[in-house]
Amino acid sequence: MKTKILAIGRHPEILQTVVRLINNNPEWEGIGANTDDEAVLLFSTQSFKIVLLCGGIEPDSEGRLRTAFNSLNPDAIIVQHYGGGSGLLSAEIFQALAK
């Protein structure tokens, strides 16, 4: 079974690239969300193991998202993604999965 990863970001082109890079790994399934509401809806209806918080998310939004995700599934791993290409993205995901 694939590891489901929810990527959240405010820049549609960058988010699309992140999701494509996630989906390049045959063991991962990435889905993207641009808004908080979309992210919480996806998270509440699907079983994500990892949430990637990508660029552009305001601190108050990040706090609300973390609270919502922790209440819906405290076992989900929330990772701050800082960009920097596919190598760093993969490393962040592998590091999260190793926890």
Q: How many residues would you count in the chain? A: 99
Tell me the pLDDT tens digit for each residue of 8-28.
Answer: 999 999 999 999 999 999 999
CATH no., domain 3-98: 3.40.50.2300
Tell me the pLDDT tens digit for each residue of 37-79.
Answer: 999 999 999 999 999 999 889 999 999 999 999 999 999 999 9
Domain extent listing, the chain? 3-98
Q: 34 pLDDT band (50/70/90 cuts)?
A: very high
Strand partners, 50: 5, 77
Sequence letter at residue 52: L
Write down the pLDDT at residue 99: 79
Beta strand 50-53 with 28-33 is: unpaired
The owner of tokens 């489901």 is 4
What is the pTM for the complete model shown? 0.94
